[in-house]
Structure 1
Amino acid sequence: MSDLPSRDELATRYLDALPYPPYPVQEEALLQYFTAQQGVLVCAPTGTGKTLIAEAALFEALHTRTVAYYTTPLIALTEQKFTEMQDAAERWGFSRDDVGLVTGNRRVNPDATILVVVAEILLNRLLHTEAFDFSCVSAVVMDEFHNFADPERGMVWELTLGMLPPHIRVLLLSATVGNAFEFCQWLRHSHNRSIELVQGTERKVPLSYQWVGDELLNEQIEKMADGDDTKRYTPALVFAFNRDVCWSIAEQLKGKTLLADGQQKRLAVELDRFDFSQGAGPKLKQLLFRGVGVHHAGILPKYRRIVEDLFQKKLLSVCVCTETLSAGINLPARSVVLPTLLKGPPGDMKLIEPSTAHQIFGRAGRPQFDNQGYVFALAHEDDVKHLRWKVKYDQIPEDTKDPNLLRAKKDLKRKMPTRRQGEQYWQESHFLQLQKAPAGKLTSRGSLPWRLLTYLLDASPDVDPLRNLVGKRLLDSAKQVQGQKQLDRMLMTLWAAGYVTLEPPPPPRQSPAEVAAAKAAEPAVAKQTETERLMSAALAQLAKSKSPAAVATVKAEAKPVEVVNEYKAHKAFPTPEMKRLLGIRSINPLYAVYLVNQLGIADRNERIQAFESVLEMPGTAARLARVPFYDDMPPGPLATQRLDMEIVQMGLATVQQLGAPLTPEEKEEQRSLPYEQRLKIYSFAEKLRLLFDAQFPDVHTLYTTPAWAVGEVLEFGGQFNKYITARGLQKQEGVFFRHFLRMILLLKELSSLHPPELTLTEWQTELGDLASQLTECCRQVDPESTDKTLEDADKAGL
């Protein structure tokens, strides 16, 4: 007889171990989890203690000597949950080493019983079951599961759910969603997984909503921080939707009286423990000393951890943050403040999504400290000024005969504040709209990843299971059809590039004469089907990729194929070339191989530009790391000897757009045009993308952004802080640090391939030298994070 406790016994033990009685929704969820065979979906508002529910699965795994995964969508959230789960394990009498962490940048105790991972790590392991054993895994917790509907992250959740072995129980923890029952039905029907549903609508700490139309932000925060602890509305989270705005708000607040008696002395002691001498450190230290924290992706990880620690110790009155923090990072606050309800680029801002708003609202109210949470939304400062003016204006009676009052009223009328032309505004009705908006629905988002498609085809050439996979997605019928068509386009792209052979073979490309004869014989066929058009284009582009000399001939011969029947492949057999795609994990594999094939004759600056462009640097940071103009960094051999020639021959751009010098008359003409009408000059990375899109017109989910950050920091001798300070990038230094770490990982990954013009040794030497320089650069900033990134890459075989 087994000496392991039963699930009933474990449920009793876990409930007895709780430090306080569970809320009704927590108790129901726990009882359901310990009796469910395949799992539970818990939908409840933010702030209802879902972590306590999650810990039950980990408690069970530790006591039954099985493995449990705890997944989150964000690295920052994963690292926080790692610490929380270590504390829980220790509280239950186990070792902190029984909990491990695996992210793209860090790996701690990777063979532990409890593994806290980002969602992509779990999916990657499910794609490589030959290397990772799931027979001993008992549970998978998916925190912040409403990310299932996220266009970028959602596909990871969906594929993971579909690929989990049936013996593994799932615990899905989500904010309130609008179609929870339908989702459970879909999961049962499409993936044969029956899960129980637990829904809660009540918060332990209720929320109070207040529209603030007569106070500016500084005044409101200072008022909230006034009084003793029972009267103060702090600690508060102030949400901004732009990293620069976070810093701007924090600077406004640092001169205000925000701290209670004794807080500043305690802060001084805490701050003296850390080195704030580099980058944004001096500025951040000043803010922290006044009780104001800043938290966003532009802050270095080591500084973010300090802000989190101080806020959790209740030493900060305010933390100014982006909405990323609302995704579950534990900064317990009494209040949240929204200085704006709009998000987006200037002139095209939109009201924030209700799901985002609900997440932000839910950060208010600490169950262990507060009886109520407070949500404040502020009016635009122009509207505040107008309201104040109106109060003064209305105090003077309209029928007054007093000449002094008449003069004052006339003077006020002349000074009436008005809204600015081109400025976007919000109002109280928008705030009410967000409060009352129904919860978002869980639905399939995003596209089938290229890496997954190549992996599945490498495992089996049968296409029908892939069609079934696409057919199981949580989509309406029209989008299901689109998904199937996209699968066909992906298969045709792989075939045209030589990565697979298809059965039955695609119809042969017809000559112009044959096309004309077919048209005469079938006059009713007036339109080529989508798949046939794509197939013909793919064939033409494959031929185009061979040599510049063949371009003109191929363009003349590549005519649309008129065929009555829609072509569909039933099998896709990988060619030897497919192996080159399978080793690429971090970026689009088709583009990775394309880049490597091109870069054999490139110089170092060209290679750096190509690599940087695929790292998805945020636009706000990329604008600060623009690629130098041609006068400052002339085109290299790949551009001049190959790319420019092919682009012009294919009619994709003019020589002037590729950087050819303009005549004085042309320059003058360009200056006279509005900026948006001026000649587009393509950077090197844009040239690469231009050719790739022409050769692979149907490759989706590919994002490239020209940037010159790695190149420039190396021009500074690899001195990170010197580069950051000289370029004024302190407010974004965390983004650049992460960019450099990602570059190191990409270089290690691409070193498994090599261009046809170079040997593998030559290519690896070049990439290894670049990676070494960047590694030393990053070690200056955060040696711990850098070394763990390299350790993780080495263990992953990169």
Structure 2
Amino acid sequence: MDRDELATRYLDELPYEPYPVQEEALLTWFTADEGVLVCAPTGTGKTLIAEAALFEALHTNKVAYYTTPLIALTEQKFQELQDAAVRWGFSADDVGLVTGNRKVNPDARILVVVAEILLNRLLDSEHQYFDETFAVVMDEFHSFNDPERGAVWELTLGLLPKHIRLMLLSATVGNAIEFLGWLRTQHKRNLRLVQSEDRRIPLNFRWVPDQLLDEQLEIMAAGDDESNYVPALVFCFNRSQCWTIAEQLKGKRLVTKERQKELAGRLEQYDWSQGAGPKLKPILLRGVGVHHAGILPKYRRIVEELFQEKLLSVCMCTETLAAGINLPARSVLLTSLIKGPPGKMKLIDASGAHQMFGRAGRPQYDHEGFVFALPDEDDVKILRWKERYDQIPEDCKDPMLIKAKKRMKKKMPTRNSKRQYWNEDQFEKLRQAPPANLSSKGHLPWRMLAWLIKSSDDVMRLRQFVSRRMLAGKEREQAEKHLFQMLKTMWAGGFVKLDPEPPVPKSVNQSADDKEEDKPEEDTTESIGSFGKLLQAAITDEPSKKPKPKSKSTSVDVPREIEWIPKKVTPTDKLDDFLRFRSINPVFGSYLVKIMGKADEFEQIQLLESVLEVPGSVARDVRLPLDFLVSGELAKSFVDFELIERGILPSHRIWPELPGDPYDIFYEDYPPPIADKVRMLFQSEFPGVHGLRTTPVWIVGDLLKFDGNFQNYVTSRDLTKQEGIVFRHLLRFCLLVQEFLDVCPEGIEPEVWQSRLTLWLETVTKACREVDPVTTDKMLEVGD
């Protein structure tokens, strides 16, 4: 079949008539030579458009990729596309899944992948993945704007072979025409544009100034399925609030007796005896779901199923759900319009707000979607007071009413001076806010730079990539400087050779040599300090500006320093170890390999755990015990003295004079944990390294204390409401340990190192599998 016949057949097989933007996008796709950018609001049915490209690939026996930014969304789309393939007369095995840690049918013609997998395959010069590839669909393409991961989409666009058609699916963007112009001039790709601001299900926005949240939800749930406003997603901006609101709804009538009876039968199919189960089950029985990262994945899956089956009236969720997880709702309710730390809260981002708004309205059930926003309960109480107060006229002559009015005035509610509030004008501002513009964000990721270096030693290729970024002139110049800084860092760490090498002042070379002579021969960390001084000088030794003469009569000609520009970058053997690290900043991972052999077992666990980000609200509850803040073997033999010698920390901060009872002083007054110390030392060695965060926590070490019993651990530490965060941290620790298994730190025997890591891996994996075997097995499968 030619493309016209394919288009006709695809349209004929649709279960319902496409609405205008879908029809336009489909016809554009089947007539465009290179592809299409579709910009339409959330909830416009862009999946139906995406499936056209996959339909065409299957019927022409070609390969197609479908990418998303989230593993959870990828899993969901994988199931949907398998169902679609069967519906079209093909096998479910014609659709495969590849994430960072899981593969299903990896040789299938339709591959559903997270965005990083597609980029990794493009950077892999040893395999010819794309000879038979017909199309690439990039869903949620507005992720191009993500400050941390946006470069993934950007570099992918530049590396995809020109024979591959592109379908970019995005929420509405403000500069779509400018973006396509940039794509045409910088990457020689001519995509056609289909954009719309219309939704198939229009949204009705309502500011509700006079109802408290529990009252409003009861009002929304009243009536039959035709007249009520549920199911509803209630967006909160922290996980604790999700639980608090859900528990406040006790006694509220949110589901009918018939539906509650059906719920009870469904809930009996599952085991709710452990962790958050005993808290979650009675909440679900009232028709209320809780869905956020603190919930174990097995419980989240149940909540999703019940909500999709319309057995739940309300689901409390955080804004991450708006990023793509499909929980169809009639209504969306925002409990606040501001977020952030106390005293520094700001109005939520407009693009994020529109993502949440777009979750309202189900095409298959609703003619209209509803977006409700409520003020703070203080403002509701003030409004209600004012309405009652104004019922008594100011010129009232009745003594009893006058007395009542005076009593009411004394009890007038007020706003809290220490809190921040929001209002209807801000709600309207978010509603009317224009869509965000697409532009290049963030720095080039380290692993991405390493892959590019392995594929070509020409620095000009790297500079060309930077020059093609969607940046303003000054930003582009800064991006190139940052590229050179990254190359200096990799050179100083021994990962690459540069031609010409960065200029280093003689005084620095001399001081580095002097330090090396002073070190004892058995010190395996001697090269770290000299690298640091070389790198510090190389990075800070930027071209100086020509100084201005002291007066007009001065005629001294001051020569300007020549700017260093590398021409060739050659990888060393160490670059392969650098690329081994995926769960950790690879520069920092290589640094840990250099020093961690001197650490004791507890320090090693702390260092590995610290690179796995834990939300601050949870990190406070899993801080290191005070006993572990005392210097261990690595700190005593190397780190403490280096921090003092370099002036990073004074000695009294490392070895403070503690009172007899250590609990008589504040935690913050104790010496920093080993993870913080090592990060400080690393940053002095490798200044300017971006993308590094550490959070000193004690989760794995504490779990080992409980003999790997997850339930005993979270219950004893009062972490049941955050057990999903803890569970995910443990799985990520397992993935990180796998990366370190074949990279033995200096100063420790490989057998000892592997035996230790294997014990941790087996213990933690077993603990996770006992809690949620499905998620554990999926997460710990080997991926690309």
Q: Give the TM bin, normalised by the shorter chain.
A: over 0.9
Report the residue type matching 2:198 in the other structure.
E
Paired position in structure 1 for 2:562: 565
3-state secondary structure, aligned to 1:770: helix
1:574 aligns with 2:571: yes
Paired position in structure 1 for 2:547: none
Paired position in structure 2 for 1:750: 740
1:706 aligns with 2:706: no
Return the alpha-carbon distance in structure 1 between the equivalents of residues 516 and 259 of structure 2. Answer: 67
Report the residue type matching 2:775 in the other structure.
S
1:612 aligns with 2:609: yes
Return the alpha-carbon distance in structure 2 between the equivalents of residues 501 and 81 of structure 1. Answer: 43
Return the alpha-carbon distance in structure 2 between the equivalents of residues 599 and 295 of structure 1. Answer: 39
1:352 aligns with 2:348: yes
2:513–2:530 CA contact under 8 A, matched in 1: no
Pairwise CA distance, 1:512:
8.6
Pairwise CA distance, 1:541:
12
2:46–2:169 CA contact under 8 A, matched in 1: yes
Question: What pairs up with 1:24-173 in 2 under 5 angstroms?
Answer: 24-131=20-127, 133-173=129-169
3-state secondary structure, aligned to 1:65: coil
Deviations 1:196-244 (A, max 9, x none): 1100111111111110110000000000000112210111000011111
TM-aligned CA distance change 1:385 to 1:132, over 3 Å: farther
1:586–1:746 CA contact under 8 A, matched in 2: yes
3-state secondary structure, aligned to 1:791: coil
TM-score, scaled relative to structure 2: 0.93
Return the alpha-carbon distance in structure 1 between the equivalents of residues 77 and 222 of structure 2. Answer: 33
Paired position in structure 1 for 2:464: 468
TM-aligned CA distance change 1:460 to 1:369, over 3 Å: same
Indicate which of 425, 449, 452 corresponds to 2:445. 449
Pairwise CA distance, 1:477:
0.9
Paired position in structure 1 for 2:526: 547
Indicate which of 314, 320, 324 corresponds to 1:318. 314
Pairwise CA distance, 1:362:
0.8
Paired position in structure 1 for 2:381: 385
TM-aligned CA distance change 1:541 to 1:406, over 3 Å: farther
Report the residue type matching 2:584 in the other structure.
I
1:496–1:538 CA contact under 8 A, matched in 2: no
3-state secondary structure, aligned to 2:435: coil
Paired position in structure 1 for 2:557: none
1:209 aligns with 2:205: yes
2:508–2:533 CA contact under 8 A, matched in 1: no
Deviations 1:626-647 (A, max 9, x none): 1111x35643211111111111
Return the alpha-carbon distance in structure 1 between the equivalents of residues 578 and 256 of structure 2. Answer: 58
Indicate which of 460, 471, 476 corresponds to 1:480. 476
Paired position in structure 2 for 1:492: 488
1:101–1:116 CA contact under 8 A, matched in 2: yes
Return the alpha-carbon distance in structure 2 between the equivalents of residues 508 and 130 of structure 1. Answer: 37
Return the alpha-carbon distance in structure 2 between the equivalents of residues 513 and 787 of structure 1. Answer: 52
Indicate which of 703, 716, 729 corresponds to 1:726. 716
Paired position in structure 2 for 1:337: 333
Return the alpha-carbon distance in structure 2 between the equivalents of residues 416 and 352 of structure 1. Answer: 30
Return the alpha-carbon distance in structure 2 between the equivalents of residues 125 and 235 of structure 1. Answer: 41
Paired position in structure 2 for 1:427: 423
Pairwise CA distance, 1:659:
4.1
Return the alpha-carbon distance in structure 2 between the equivalents of residues 540 and 295 of structure 1. Answer: 56
Return the alpha-carbon distance in structure 2 between the equivalents of residues 542 and 78 of structure 1. Answer: 55
1:239 aligns with 2:235: yes
Report the residue type matching 1:580 in the other structure.
D
1:279–1:724 CA contact under 8 A, matched in 2: yes
1:689 aligns with 2:691: no
Deviations 1:715-769 (A, max 9, x none): 1110111111111111111111111111111111112211121243332222122
Paired position in structure 1 for 2:553: none
Pairwise CA distance, 1:261:
4.5
In structure 2, stretches of 5+ residues that fail to align are: 545-559
Question: What pairs up with 1:488-527 in 2 under 5 angstroms?
Answer: 488-511=484-507
Aligned length: 761
Paired position in structure 2 for 1:790: 780
Question: What pairs up with 1:287-326 in 2 under 5 angstroms?
Answer: 287-326=283-322
Pairwise CA distance, 1:131:
3.5
3-state secondary structure, aligned to 1:309: helix
TM-aligned CA distance change 1:403 to 1:743, over 3 Å: same
Return the alpha-carbon distance in structure 2 between the equivalents of residues 448 and 538 of structure 1. Answer: 33
3-state secondary structure, aligned to 1:656: helix
2:504–2:537 CA contact under 8 A, matched in 1: no
Paired position in structure 2 for 1:176: 172
3-state secondary structure, aligned to 1:70: strand
Paired position in structure 2 for 1:268: 264
1:404 aligns with 2:386: no
Pairwise CA distance, 1:377:
0.4
Give me the identity figure in percent.
58
Paired position in structure 2 for 1:644: 640
2:39–2:173 CA contact under 8 A, matched in 1: yes
Report the residue type matching 1:412 in the other structure.
M
Question: What pairs up with 1:645-684 in 2 under 5 angstroms?
Answer: 645-662=641-658, 679=669, 681-684=671-674
Deviations 1:522-558 (A, max 9, x none): xxxxxxxxxxxxxx99999999995399789979x97
Paired position in structure 2 for 1:188: 184
Paired position in structure 2 for 1:775: 765
Return the alpha-carbon distance in structure 2 between the equivalents of residues 408 and 451 of structure 1. Answer: 72
Return the alpha-carbon distance in structure 1 between the equivalents of residues 701 and 127 of structure 2. Answer: 37
2:38–2:170 CA contact under 8 A, matched in 1: yes
3-state secondary structure, aligned to 1:448: coil
2:516–2:530 CA contact under 8 A, matched in 1: no
TM-aligned CA distance change 1:652 to 1:19, over 3 Å: same
Return the alpha-carbon distance in structure 1 between the equivalents of residues 732 and 690 of structure 2. Answer: 22
Report the residue type matching 1:692 in the other structure.
F
Return the alpha-carbon distance in structure 2 between the equivalents of residues 366 and 264 of structure 1. Answer: 23
1:538–1:695 CA contact under 8 A, matched in 2: no
**CA RMSD in angstroms, aligned pairs only:** 2.7
Return the alpha-carbon distance in structure 1 between the equivalents of residues 300 and 287 of structure 2. Answer: 15
1:627–1:708 CA contact under 8 A, matched in 2: yes
Return the alpha-carbon distance in structure 2 between the equivalents of residues 774 and 122 of structure 1. Answer: 30
Return the alpha-carbon distance in structure 1 between the equivalents of residues 84 and 215 of structure 2. Answer: 41
Return the alpha-carbon distance in structure 2 between the equivalents of residues 636 and 488 of structure 1. Answer: 37
Report the residue type matching 1:107 in the other structure.
K
Return the alpha-carbon distance in structure 1 between the equivalents of residues 301 and 590 of structure 2. Answer: 37
1:211–1:378 CA contact under 8 A, matched in 2: yes
1:57–1:141 CA contact under 8 A, matched in 2: yes
1:585 aligns with 2:582: yes
Return the alpha-carbon distance in structure 1 between the equivalents of residues 430 and 346 of structure 2. Answer: 13
TM-aligned CA distance change 1:507 to 1:378, over 3 Å: same
Return the alpha-carbon distance in structure 2 between the equivalents of residues 434 and 541 of structure 1. Answer: 60
Indicate which of 193, 196, 202 corresponds to 1:200. 196
